[in-house]
Amino acid sequence: MPAIDPTRYEWIKIDKGHDGIVTLTLNNPRRKNAVSRPMHRELERIWDDIDADDDIRVVILTGEGDAFCAGTDLSVQDAENEAGRKKRPPTRGARRLFWNMLDAEKPIIAKVRGPAYGVGVNIALACDMVIAAEGARFCDSHVRMGIAPGDGGAALFPLLLGFHRAKEYLMLGEPIEASKAIEIGLINYCVPDAELDAFVDGFAQRLTKGAPLAISYAKMSVNLLLKQMTAGAFETSLAYDQLTLFTDDHKEGAKAFLEKRPPAFKGS
């Protein structure tokens, strides 16, 4: 099968080793790897290319520099909206990203430094394992933007944390430190920042020594259950997300974020 072509990707750096491990790096460091629409589209389609490359056994997904992903790139989004490029809510893209990650056949390890916020936290949680540095922070911050959590958080958080904790974090939009995240079961491991690269590399090497088909089928079996359990919640939350995108509260939340001030929400 064809090898993955790094030149097809501008917003994701692809580092393919000779040991069956490929590292995908979200590459928008000036915005703490916030997801623009072009990056989102690349994230939607890259998993088919990964699965088609028989040399790849394990994927490490990380962010450039000191951040995993700060969420959606609001500065680019606002500019595109003003230019009239956004004709409809991007529900198809959000749906494709979530399901394509769950359908990917190769194991995916999220290596998290710094913030994993908004869509970023849900990209991390859609991976098969999450390994974080001690300084990492996890936050589904949608409500702080005046929008409902629609990138997968409303589906994944309850399964990982239980209903009451999930509602606490989704309704407040407050960050979870890595030390707390490991305690409540949100992530697999929390390690000192200086040890993160070596720890993740070692973990990935352990996976490459296993039987590829057996590992893939184990993942796909678990993810089938995950998809069945989350499908209704994901679709409903995505609809609410799109509904709240057109509210005054979202306009205020986005404006307050860019102006670095607390928002003044009014419920409209």
DSSP string of 137-198, one letter each residue: EEE--GGGGTS---SSHHHHHHHHH-HHHHHHHHHH---EEHHHHHHTTSSSEEE-GGGHHH
The answer to whether the beta carbons of residues 123 and 69 sit under 8 Å apart is yes
pLDDT per residue, tens digit, the chain (268 aa), is 689 999 999 999 999 999 999 999 999 999 999 999 999 999 999 999 999 999 999 999 999 999 999 999 977 655 554 444 554 446 788 899 999 999 999 999 999 999 999 999 999 999 999 999 999 999 999 999 999 998 899 999 999 999 999 999 999 999 999 999 999 999 999 999 999 999 999 999 999 999 999 999 999 999 999 999 999 999 999 999 999 999 999 999 999 988 999 999 999 9
pLDDT confidence of residue 84:
46
163 exposed, middle or buried (CB, 10 Å; 0-12, 13-18, 19+)? Answer: exposed
Domains of the chain from N-terminus onward: 6-195+208-213 (3.90.226.10)
The answer to whether the beta carbons of residues 43 and 12 sit under 8 Å apart is yes
pLDDT confidence of residue 70:
96
Question: What gap in Å lies between CA 62 and CA 108, rounded to an integer?
Answer: 10
**pTM > 0.85: yes or no:** yes
